[in-house]
Amino acid sequence: MQLLVLRLDYLSSKMIENLQRQLRQPNSKLALQLPHIPLLAYENTPPLQLKAALEPIAQSTAALSLQASDIGFSKEGERFYLQVHPTEALAEFYSSLQIAGQGFSTGVDVQWQPQIPLIGNIPAPFWGPLFARLALEFNSLSGTGAALEYWSVIGNRTTIEWSLFLES
């Protein structure tokens, strides 16, 4: 599977990585997930062809302002995330990526919600205590979406195929 993601600016990424470190199990050997907002999923899509189709959008889009102040939890995937407040600019960016990538094989088509994943695969007994801890640690996030990236995901391994920085 491949993912198209919006990567965050350095300061926002650093704040999210600190939250992730506090939430993960002490004996976990899994690497922290890079701070991002998942946009679209693809199946067996040639990376360079998709990059060529999306590059004009990235070049003409200014860095996107983001706000997140709500913590979310999904029992599906047993994961915590930050809910990003949708803006018109973010919705337009997502729509233009969808339209530009229509000729490529997409993965699961679900209603898109802008979220920043924090940690997943949490055993049920830890849901409440981790949510309480996260509620104490997290105030709000103001940042920017700085780059569009294309990732190949196989199991727990992620490879960055390419990055396109948005106009600053």
Helical (H) or strand (E) element with 17: helix 10-23
User: How large is the average pLDDT for residues 135-149?
Assistant: 93
Give the C-alpha distances (Å, rounded to integers) separating 13 from 17, 34, 56, 108, 125.
Answer: 6, 8, 25, 27, 28
- Helix and strand counts by DSSP (H, E) for the chain: 4, 7
pLDDT level of residue 156 (50, 70, 90 thresholds):
confident
Give dist(CA 18, CA 107) in Å, integer.
Answer: 31
Q: What is the DSSP letter of 138?
A: -
Give the C-alpha distances (Å, rounded to integers) separating 129 from 68, 79, 122, 126, 167.
Answer: 21, 13, 11, 5, 40
Tens digits of residue pLDDT in 72-91: 999 887 889 999 999 999 99
The reported pLDDT for the residue numbered 31 is: 65
Burial of 127 (0-12, 13-18, 19+ CB in 10 A): middle
SS3 state at 72: strand
Which of 15, 32, 43, 23 has the alpha carbon at shortest distance from 106?
43
Tens digits of residue pLDDT in 3-58: 999 999 999 999 999 888 888 766 666 667 899 999 999 988 999 999 999 999 99
Residue 67 has pLDDT above 80, yes or no: yes
Burial of 125 (0-12, 13-18, 19+ CB in 10 A): exposed
Which of 107, 91, 125, 93 has the alpha carbon at shortest distance from 44?
107
